[in-house]
Structure 1
Amino acid sequence: MSGYRVGVDIGGTFTDIVLLGDTGEILTRKVSSTVDNYARAISDGLAATFAEAGIAPSEIEEVLHGTTVASNAILELKGARTGLITTRGFRDLLELRLLRMPRLYDLGWVKPPMLVERFLRMEVTERIGADGSVVTPLDEAEVADAVDRLVGEGVEAISVCLLHSYANPAHEMRVKEIVAERAPGMVLSVSSEVLPEIKEYERTSTTVINAYVKPVVGSYLKSLIGDLDRIEVKAPLLLMQSNGGLTTAEVAAELPMNIVESGPAAGVVGAQQLARRVGFDKVISFDMGGTTAKASLVEDGDVTRAEEYSVGGGIMIGSRLMSGAGYALKVPAIDLAEVGAGGGSIISIDAGGVPQVGPQSAGSFPGPVCYDLGGTEPTVTDANVVLGYINPGHLAGGSVKLRSDKSKAALTEKVAEPLGLSPERAAYGAHLVAASNMIRAIKAVSSERGRDPREYALVAFGGNGPLFAAGMARSLMVAKVIVPPQAGVFSSVGLLYCDVEYHFPKTFRQLVGDIDPSALREATAALEAQARDRLAADGFSGDAVELKWTAKLHYRGQAYELAVPLPAIGPGFAAAAAEAYGAEHERTYGHRAGDDEPVELVSLNLAARGLLEAARSIAKQDLAIGLAEPTTRRAYFGPDYGWMETPILKRGHLATPYAGPVIVEEYDCTCVVPPGMTAALDEFGDIIIDTGVNA
């Protein structure tokens, strides 16, 4: 009997399912997401795949899942009614935030609504000093009263964040006990357990977010496990975390803050494995689905990570260069930029008569006008249908039939006629606007991070990524585009390459020149013991455990840190740490301070991985099987080229290089190669597009 690992990624429009057998065979399925209950699309899609392929549920060994449930709860403000207990005088910390404006000179910008309303933030008398000493004892009567008031207000979750609890959690632990006594069963998040690190606003915001999404995620996971039981799948369920590693369903339910950016992370891990396989040192991963587009970097075989980011602030990026727009979440996450641009993004005209794309999306229901499910607003998918890029009878292998006539009528009425353009010119303009929005995301992780995108290859995936990637690459002067096999479900494929991973932070604030090596070794030993215990609980020990240390440092007086590998602890530690930080500061910001500028260690972080032993390699497919002669279709490539009779190929046809224009149609996506470019297959079955620019 064969064994299968299952990767499942839920998007705003489609749910992607991939089954990888222990001999390397791969099965894929794309089904519409069930917004009312995302778990149902997974169980129904798996059941249909089992029936078609003759697979028994008992053959499933693991279910690996990336989900947007937590992020959706924040973006849609549909989390739990949450209360906060904090130190007297810190009630308004969530409102004050970091006093930063995310958009310079925009006086109309408004802070997002608070996840905890002011009357649900309770102050209690207590004070822990920065050194961990008790300055003011905890008033337990006030805590009891605060809990009773919150329960009386009908809160579903309580967050606890007391001043300097990272240095001494005693008061928070007592508050936790009082909550358990007076409100048994109450969902609770305590900052010293969630994020034992310095910085009060970030710690408070992260703790609140964890409490806010905890009931939602817990309910979803319970529903999903129930649905998997219904189709007799008893395999372990592992969730993708924002940091690119997996975690158990039990840990995800307790610390859901770690899966807020679960969905986008898996695709970046897949791009990392692809880069290693094809021998590219630097790649930009570009994932465009039905609702959003995401970009990230892979450098020297490693994904890049941000130590914190904002959720729900429009363009979602790691907060080194921009912050304040959304809700601060201080957890390690793959450093990516995300914009509201996808196939379902609605095309509109603003008050000034300028066409816009997104961020509003038609989603999976009613979806684009061409879905014929009641949608009336033209979308990016409708524009691509009008342009001839998408085959109306081929989407998701033909399971979704499209009405091209309705796309053209809606685009003509809502966009073309008001602008005095032909339908194809309006559609092409919308296509370019959408591309420019997504180029912003790529620049956010490259040029705005001190990286030159011309030095990278672009890995394109997602249902719409390969359709846009070549044109975007040319605009960015990127020479190569790589479209992997199973590109439309590549985030699910990426899940199959992930390992279990946990991050353990600890504040250790001291000038590097003053650090006592024995004290530092003691701190790292305590973190290592904690990490090994966590992984042992998941069944990992010995050679199956991999540890990676980083240190967050800054020049004395700076408010923000950069992470570098932790140097060897010994006589040369101070010099090595200062040099590592200086080099990273120069790479990120373009300069470094002089040697006389003191460098301060702020915190330690241990990334602990449990290495899964399951087969990861996908067997090479014979792409020549069943190849028919190419057909042609008219497609529009802008005013310079107009309508062109364009070859319609399968991936296998590119065993012989083709010059654009070419459209490659697959079950899960469509790849467009514009005029002036060439496309061919490499030895792994990847489509390699030469954009014709000199990198």
Structure 2
Amino acid sequence: MLDRTEQGGCRVGIDIGGTFTDLVVVNSKGETFTKKVSSTADNYARAIIEGLAGVLDPAGLTLNQITEFLHGTTVGSNTILELKGARIGLITTKGFRDVLEIRNLRMPKLYDLRWDKPAPLVERYLRLGINERIDAAGNVTIPLARADIEAAVERLLAEKVEGIAVCLLNSYANPVHERMVAETIRKMAPDLPISVSSDILPQMKEYERTSTTVVNAYIMPIVASYLKNLGDTLKSQGMKAPILLMQSNGGLTTAQEASEKPVNIVESGPAAGVVGAVRRAVECGHHNIISFDMGGTTAKASVAEEGKFVLSQQYSVGGGIMISSRLLTGGGYLLAVPAIDVAEVGAGGGSIVWIDAAGSMQIGPESAGANPGPLCYDRGGDRPTVTDANVLLGYINPHYLVGGELKLNAARSHQFYEELLAKPLGIDVTTAAYGARQIAISNMIRAIKAVSSERGRDPRNFTLFALGGNGALFAAGMAQELGIKTIMVPPSAGLFSAYGLLYADVEHYYTETMRDLLRDVSPQAWQTGWQSLEDRAREQLRADGFGEDEVEIQRFASMRYKGQTFEISIPIPNGALTPERVLEIEDTFGAEHERTYGHRASFDEPVQLISIQVAGLAARNQTQKPGKPQRHDGDLHTEQQPRKAYFGREHGWLETAILPRTALTAPRRGPCIIEEYDTTCVVPPEATARLDDKHNIIITLD
């Protein structure tokens, strides 16, 4: 791993979204340079190469001066959403091959008779059971014959599978049989990708472990190929720096580790935005925030308390809404790996606005993406989008998007909104556009509630941190509906997921199942288990090139009341585990249970320990963080001529001031619109905007 402080070098953060690819470069002096280019869905690496040329040249830098290449990517999630993963087989215990279809009997739509479960990622004839059995204590009750393994592997190879997932019953307690299967596969097909559950997720719960292992196998060849091609291309052009990937849990990992365990980078992009938002907010004195990230395809929300984001132990992908809500599960493919608690809905700038069979207006989840994009992009799109609504309402300047690089055709937006929405609904174009905006706000509020009120948090007690290309466009409308009083919009908000990469640390997570009543657990056994996981974390971080003084170890434990189905993970302070400390941990669990679910059990109700986890974190001692971004050629320098914008029936069309961010050195009463290279910020009549000492826009609502 190269030294991040190498003289004259630079750090690069690149985030690929559904519509745009964002690039941020920080040189050795802390000077920050940014670039936004359209994503190239056919080959994401092409946008990265083109974007790097556009951001490094103005900074006077070259590829060989990059000391750290940090990357957030949608390759994993898109592979699942589009069902374009590898053709894989599954080897499991005889009698358990239908676990993927039985699932855990959770349904996201209880009263929708037309709802169908997502199709398993492995077809049934490619799911093979072998005769073996290990009990819950790890004892072998039915030995595994190597001939059975060879027969199963031969059958899958005959079907030309591109990878194999291995998940045997109770392997978390004793992986000996899974090791035999993996060894046999490697002998018979040395180059075939393998995902083994005792390596991917050594935890109890059969469906969760099987689903996570299968998803890993399903996306592994695609992610590995993408990272290899990207690395080879950059290396051929002179880059020597390692590629580090953002994980779903908010930490960085190596390209090699991400290629072998891509299940950990599925929610890479959303995690980067949250990390950046939390670190930036804490720097500016805001310790409790709701990050609201709205891009071109989706909108995402997450909560951070006391300067720390919340980790969820599992989430679903591909159920229409990617959401970790305990109240809405079963709609997608389950991943039981640590991830920042992000709720995501299909409501972005490019989301399609349409009329359903009942004559009601709907938003998304289908998106126009980057190509053809919204109607106003004038690239052949023929369906109205949320961005078109913002153009028609006067919020977006048709002559000023991405610093003026993207010219918009507002007349085209008006034509299609009138033909496809306004006339069929019997309303005018303005009402149709404002209605589309309000429906989008309503949909996105669901995401914020999923991580706040559904978690026992009152959103009125938080600052709304707006990021993403469209976050500041909608933040005030969201805050008004939720009763939030303060909004924070950072510099370069539209590229903030790329910024988040530059704030992140390298992280590795390790877990071990310990299924005992908390009061019966031997403190010595507990301490021994944690020490073993800590040793693994330190060993991996040393291999990553970090010194002992750059490493931090954090402990967690997952617990539940005996008889419950789901557990809660809580942080455990370092130090010796005495009986008194165990009782304190139990009390901490009870407090978190009450905050999450609204109640806690009495002292007589036993608490059950399910698993222990360790997070190994590391960061260079003198890593250069982003500074104030440079101005773009397209940035506004002075206040512009006002234009009319629509603020609902109460206010109608109002003359609205058009400002650069620098004009907010003195508080400015709305309505006004702040236009920038990467985002547009709308300040309604009931609000006041100002700049703080870190150049953040602070909007205060009446």
TM-score band (shorter)? over 0.9
Structure 2 counterpart of 1:565, from 550, 560, 571: 571
2:4 alignment counterpart: none
Contact in 2 for aligned 1:428/1:638 (Cα 8 Å): yes
Identity of aligned residues (%): 57
Contact in 2 for aligned 1:345/1:357 (Cα 8 Å): yes
SS of equivalent residue, structure 1 residue 482: strand
Q: Is the counterpart of residue 649 in structure 1 residue 655 in structure 2? A: no
2: distance between equivalents of 1:226 and 1:178? 31
1:443 alignment counterpart: 449
Structure-to-structure mapping, 1:504-519, within 5 angstroms: 504-519=510-525
Per-residue Cα deviation, 1:327-386 (whole angstroms, up to 9, x for no partner): 110000000100011010000011111011100100001111111111000101111111
**1:616 CA displacement:** 4.1
2:3 alignment counterpart: none
Per-residue Cα deviation, 1:111-153 (whole angstroms, up to 9, x for no partner): 0111001000000000011111101000221211111111111
Per-residue Cα deviation, 1:408-437 (whole angstroms, up to 9, x for no partner): 111111111111111111111101111111
1:172 alignment counterpart: 178
Structure-to-structure mapping, 1:162-561, within 5 angstroms: 162-561=168-567
Contact in 1 for aligned 2:508/2:616 (Cα 8 Å): yes
2: distance between equivalents of 1:628 and 1:310? 46
Counterpart residue type for residue 45 of structure 2: A
Contact in 2 for aligned 1:16/1:28 (Cα 8 Å): yes
**1:13 CA displacement:** 0.4
Q: Comparing 240-249 with 391-400, which one deviates more in the overlay?
A: 391-400
2: distance between equivalents of 1:158 and 1:623? 50
Contact in 1 for aligned 2:35/2:51 (Cα 8 Å): yes
Contact in 1 for aligned 2:422/2:429 (Cα 8 Å): yes
1:605 alignment counterpart: 613
2:598 alignment counterpart: 590
Contact in 2 for aligned 1:271/1:298 (Cα 8 Å): no
Counterpart residue type for residue 332 of structure 1: P
SS of equivalent residue, structure 1 residue 471: helix
**1:56 CA displacement:** 2.1
1: distance between equivalents of 2:639 and 2:491? 21
1:158 alignment counterpart: 164
2:57 alignment counterpart: 51
SS of equivalent residue, structure 1 residue 434: helix
1:102 alignment counterpart: 108
Counterpart residue type for residue 667 of structure 1: Y
Q: Return closer, same or farther for 1:318/1:629 CA change in 2, 3 Å cut-off.
A: closer
Question: What residue ranges of structure 2 are gaps of 5+ in the alignment?
Answer: 1-6
How many pairs are equivalent? 692
**1:281 CA displacement:** 2.5
Q: Return closer, same or farther for 1:588/1:182 CA change in 2, 3 Å cut-off.
A: same
Contact in 2 for aligned 1:43/1:231 (Cα 8 Å): no
1: distance between equivalents of 2:579 and 2:360? 62
**1:615 CA displacement:** 3.3
Q: Return closer, same or farther for 1:545/1:17 CA change in 2, 3 Å cut-off.
A: same
Compute the RMSD of aligned alpha carbons: 1.4
2: distance between equivalents of 1:119 and 1:622? 57
**1:623 CA displacement:** 8.4
1: distance between equivalents of 2:218 and 2:467? 32
Per-residue Cα deviation, 1:60-89 (whole angstroms, up to 9, x for no partner): 111100001000000000000010000011
Contact in 2 for aligned 1:346/1:358 (Cα 8 Å): yes
**1:627 CA displacement:** 2.9
1: distance between equivalents of 2:413 and 2:233? 36
1:577 alignment counterpart: 585
Per-residue Cα deviation, 1:486-507 (whole angstroms, up to 9, x for no partner): 1010110111000000110110
Q: Return closer, same or farther for 1:626/1:37 CA change in 2, 3 Å cut-off.
A: closer
Contact in 2 for aligned 1:623/1:652 (Cα 8 Å): no
1: distance between equivalents of 2:307 and 2:541? 24
2: distance between equivalents of 1:550 and 1:201? 23
Contact in 1 for aligned 2:668/2:689 (Cα 8 Å): yes
SS of equivalent residue, structure 1 residue 337: strand
Q: Is the counterpart of residue 23 in structure 1 residue 33 in structure 2? A: no
Structure 1 counterpart of 2:8, from 2, 11, 14: 2
Per-residue Cα deviation, 1:234-282 (whole angstroms, up to 9, x for no partner): 2111000000000000100000000000010011011111221121221
2: distance between equivalents of 1:610 and 1:463? 30
Contact in 2 for aligned 1:22/1:615 (Cα 8 Å): no
2: distance between equivalents of 1:329 and 1:103? 20
Contact in 1 for aligned 2:34/2:629 (Cα 8 Å): no
2:623 alignment counterpart: 615
1: distance between equivalents of 2:12 and 2:244? 10
Q: Comparing 513-522 with 402-411, which one deviates more in the overlay?
A: 513-522
SS of equivalent residue, structure 1 residue 131: coil
Contact in 2 for aligned 1:161/1:172 (Cα 8 Å): yes
Q: TM-score, structure 2 length as denominator?
A: 0.97
2: distance between equivalents of 1:662 and 1:535? 49
Counterpart residue type for residue 542 of structure 1: E
1: distance between equivalents of 2:42 and 2:96? 38
Q: Return closer, same or farther for 1:629/1:558 CA change in 2, 3 Å cut-off.
A: closer
Structure 2 counterpart of 1:682, from 692, 695, 699: 692
Q: Return closer, same or farther for 1:645/1:159 CA change in 2, 3 Å cut-off.
A: same
1: distance between equivalents of 2:286 and 2:364? 33
Contact in 2 for aligned 1:210/1:257 (Cα 8 Å): yes
**1:620 CA displacement:** 4.2
Contact in 2 for aligned 1:623/1:651 (Cα 8 Å): no
Q: Is the counterpart of residue 61 in structure 1 residue 71 in structure 2? A: no
SS of equivalent residue, structure 1 residue 166: coil
Counterpart residue type for residue 550 of structure 1: F
**1:621 CA displacement:** 6.4
Per-residue Cα deviation, 1:136-192 (whole angstroms, up to 9, x for no partner): 000221211111111111110100000111111100000001111222211100001
1:691 alignment counterpart: 701
1: distance between equivalents of 2:507 and 2:564? 30
Q: Comparing 573-582 with 395-404, which one deviates more in the overlay?
A: 573-582
SS of equivalent residue, structure 1 residue 135: strand
SS of equivalent residue, structure 2 residue 68: strand
1:663 alignment counterpart: 673
Counterpart residue type for residue 575 of structure 1: L
Counterpart residue type for residue 190 of structure 2: P
2:646 alignment counterpart: 636
SS of equivalent residue, structure 2 residue 545: coil
**1:642 CA displacement:** 1.6
